[in-house]
Structure 1
Amino acid sequence: MSSLMMNWIVKEEEEGMIVREYLLQGKSLSRSMLTDIKFKGGRICVNGVSSNVRTILNEGDNVEITFPDEEISESMSPLDLPLHIIYEDDHYLLVNKQANLPTIPSRHSVGSLAQAVLYYYKKMDLNRTIHPVNRLDRDTSGLVLFAKHRFAHDLLSKQQRSKEMKRMYLALVHGAVIGNGEVNAPIGRREGSIIERTVRPDGQHAVTNYNVSERYDSYSLLQLALQTGRTHQIRVHMASIGHPLLGDDLYGGSRELITRQALHSAKLEFYHPFLEETIRFEADPPEDMKRLIQKK
């Protein structure tokens, strides 16, 4: 299994920088990653010669870094589960998660998407650990993005914090939602529960935007975008305005038409830091939601 390597050519405006400055400021490596490269088996080369972080760079120099091998958690075992891959390159893996599957393992579940991805990595002879960029609830379907290495994950985490990464969800909610809107209401744990969340004054800031796509006899189809990423945010916010998700019995929804919360992560857009371009992806909802959407 080969180690991860990356290289760059020094530009005219970067001449005179030392390697440390070039990597931290110019290439957005974190200080902890640079420390690991120095002390945990990584390597820095300039024009093929092993170098240190104080080396002064000239225009046209080839800077190559070798990342140390990642340590795979012994607590997470690979598991051979179906994996619907939407996109893959050397840095990212995007999958369409099925419902009834948690993103990461828990003591209450047998199997997870992360374990399926780890199995896929081993099958492809990739010495990688799991770096989920986003997560979905167990019964929410749709797009989940994994970074294949720590550097790729760190770069997209910065996009998430600056709200540059965009995600759109589809949800079927009870009742006729009138007009488009925004729910701006803090979310925290419900008293006496380790799972359930609720709107409460001392909760974390949370904002959800929604648009009505279609209205049916007893429910509505919404497109939703999150300005924040709180646990159960869409589910809690829609229940708080009197429109719980179909199938979401934890927050007041009925399971008469669907047996899980009718929520699907349908679109994802982000700036690919290695391709240096914005890329967009879509995933159709699974059959249980599609049946209700096509009912009209």
Structure 2
Amino acid sequence: MAEYQWQYKGDKPVTIKRFMSQVGLGHRLLADIKYGDGVFRMNAKVEPITTIIEPGEVVTLVTKPVTEDSEVEISNEPIEVVFEDANWLVVNKPAGLSSIPGPTNSTDTLLNRVKGYLVTNNAPDLRPTLIIRLDRFTSGLVLIAKNRVSQSMISHQVENHELDKRYTAIVSGILEPEHDLIEASIGQIENSPRRVVRPDGKKAKTEYWVKQTGADWTELEVKLHTGRTHQIRVHLTHIGHPLLGDELYGGPQDLIARQALHAKSLSFVDPFTQQPMEFQAELPKDMSDILNR
């Protein structure tokens, strides 16, 4: 069993349900707890979520471990752990590894490897959730919730695009201006994995800063303000500067064998401690070799 504690610091009495919503627990998890997947305790006594709590009182949530998903196979291939605590796992995903199982690979994706890592380390919860997903050939930082409480607690930041995700991208050509905000809706192309800017698509916003230029390429720092599929790749292609190596979107193939995109940094506020968390991942060799030519 896992326990989580919060002290109510408000100045007016509220129900446990209202307080838990305030600290960040989602409605789905609260419903699951209500119907038996956990209990709330106050002063060592189990209380319903309708119980009134007073300022200064402590509420304890006790949850059951989540057993493994039998549909996700275990892979014992290694992962590069950047950070780990009871709730979070931050890993540096290599290029070429899919994030989640799919029709072409159901046995050795990042999710399979993370499950194998948790099983090997006797973790109590065995259904990790990837809060960030990267394209197969994009490298870099991925945030993983190790349990359903942490998944629920981070959901507000995800929905409001409050996770600060920065990428290093190397695009074809010399890009001007040196800083810009690309706001262009993205939609699907029928019967194709490609996405494209189109007026009936979903709103998308990408910000970039030029870091340096070469003879025929530009290094960018990119920040996502929304999280659409292939968003960086589509937006940079839309302005005429596809990523080097991005075959799907017409990027030059002579300098790198995959799209030159790396999730280099991640920052967010830990919803349990309210402390800022910041992580970095060094640029992989295939991209740094281009910059050092």
Please confirm whether the aligned pair reaches a TM-score higher than 0.5, indicating the same fold: yes
Aligned letter for 1:249?
Answer: E
Q: Separation in 1 of the partners of 2:29 and 2:190?
A: 40
Q: Report if aligned partners of 1:73, 1:129 keep a CA contact under 8 Å in 2.
A: yes
- Tell me whether 1:280 sits opposite 2:250 in the alignment: no
Equivalent position of 2:191 in the other structure: 192
Cα 1:184–1:18 change in 2 (3 A) is: closer
Equivalent position of 1:73 in the other structure: 69
Q: How far 1:38 moved relative to its partner?
A: 2.7
TM-score by length of 2: 0.93
Q: Report if aligned partners of 2:69, 2:126 keep a CA contact under 8 Å in 1.
A: no
Q: Separation in 1 of the partners of 2:256 and 2:110?
A: 22
Q: How far 1:290 moved relative to its partner?
A: 1.0
Equivalent position of 1:107 in the other structure: 103
Q: How far 1:9 moved relative to its partner?
A: 3.0
Segments of structure 2 that go 5 or more residues without pairing to the other structure are: none
Q: Deviations over 1:185-224 (max 9, x none)?
A: 111112331x111111211111111111010011111111
Equivalent position of 1:55 in the other structure: 51
Q: Separation in 2 of the partners of 1:246 and 1:12?
A: 53
The one of 78, 82, 94 equivalent to 1:82 is 78
Segments of structure 1 that go 5 or more residues without pairing to the other structure are: none
Equivalent position of 1:8 in the other structure: 6
Aligned letter for 1:284?
Answer: E
Q: Separation in 2 of the partners of 1:264 and 1:142?
A: 5
Equivalent position of 2:60 in the other structure: 64
Aligned residues: percent identity?
Answer: 36
Q: Report if aligned partners of 1:37, 1:68 keep a CA contact under 8 Å in 2.
A: no
Q: Deviations over 1:102-160 (max 9, x none)?
A: 11111112511111111111111112302111110000000000011222122222112
TM-score by length of 1: 0.92
Q: How far 1:11 moved relative to its partner?
A: 3.6
RMSD between aligned residues: 1.6
Q: Separation in 2 of the partners of 1:202 and 1:19?
A: 42
Q: Separation in 1 of the partners of 2:54 and 2:180?
A: 54
Q: Separation in 2 of the partners of 1:12 and 1:181?
A: 42
Q: Report if aligned partners of 1:37, 1:66 keep a CA contact under 8 Å in 2.
A: no
Q: Deviations over 1:35-92 (max 9, x none)?
A: 2123234122111122222333244433211123324322101101121111111111
The one of 132, 135, 138 equivalent to 1:137 is 135
Secondary structure of 1:94's counterpart equals strand
What count of residue pairs does the alignment treat as equivalent? Answer: 290
Q: Separation in 2 of the partners of 1:290 and 1:236?
A: 23
